[in-house]
A = this chain, B = another copy of it.
């Protein structure tokens, strides 16, 4: 519904939806994601989002049929690879930089992932959106790093630890709050890379 293409006589549809600019849309998306982080998925209401963005509930329902669809759209719009473009020529340094980059976003992303973690078990589209927005891109970037390291001969191909590096990075990021009561910051993650990830790979 966001932009039900075709069928418009000949003028492009985009010109019709005059009011909701992409910037305005971002406000809606930012608002809903922030409310999810703060109150959890279930507690987020369309009314709340409407109120906090000073728009009307009708406006939201005109654009998105249901809450999960709305949230999924927000996630897709939020897609962005945290550590894309990291390529220092050294796997160890790549991983350190990835850790730093992840640490800078840790709080926001962790809370979002946590808040949505259960909702996705009951909504396929939401699950897909979450994976494509917050999980897959980062995993793919990590795997590329590792592949480059292998290609350069820094790590033997088929090294058993390779398979677990993404899970380790993500996992530590994810559970630190519940273990230590604080989000994993860049320092913590870099030290983790130095102390556990690199040794596991036989690096350094």
Residue numbers of A with Cβ under 8 A of B are 39-43, 113-115, 117-119, 121-122, 131, 135, 139, 160-161, 163-168, 170-176, 178-179, 191-192, 194-197, 199-202
Contact = CB atoms under 8 A, between A and B. Distances in A.
Copies of this chain in the oligomer: 2
A176 B164 CA distance: 10
A170 B197 CA distance: 15
A192 to B, nearest CB: 5
Given A114-B114, A115-B118, A171-B175, 6 more contacts: A113-B178, A139-B179, A171-B172, A195-B200, A196-B196, A199-B202
Given A118-B114, A174-B174, A191 B131 contact: no
Contacts of A115: 118
Contacts of A139: 179
Main secondary structure of the interface of A (DSSP, over half): helix
Q: Most B CB atoms within 10 A — which of A43, A117, A191, A195?
A: A117
Contact of A171 (B173, B195, B201): B173
Contact of A179 (B40, B135, B191, B197): B135
A172 B161 contact: no
A3 B151 CA distance: 65
Closest A-B pairs by Cβ, 9 of them: A171-B171, A160-B195, A42-B42, A40-B118, A196-B200, A200-B200, A171-B175, A161-B196, A171-B172
Contact of A174 (B43, B135, B175, B196): B175
Contact of A117 (B117, B161, B163, B171): B117
A32 to B, nearest CB: 15
14 contacts: A40-B119, A114-B117, A135-B178, A160-B196, A164-B172, A164-B195, A167-B179, A168-B171, A170-B178, A170-B179, A171-B173, A174-B175, A195-B200, A199-B201
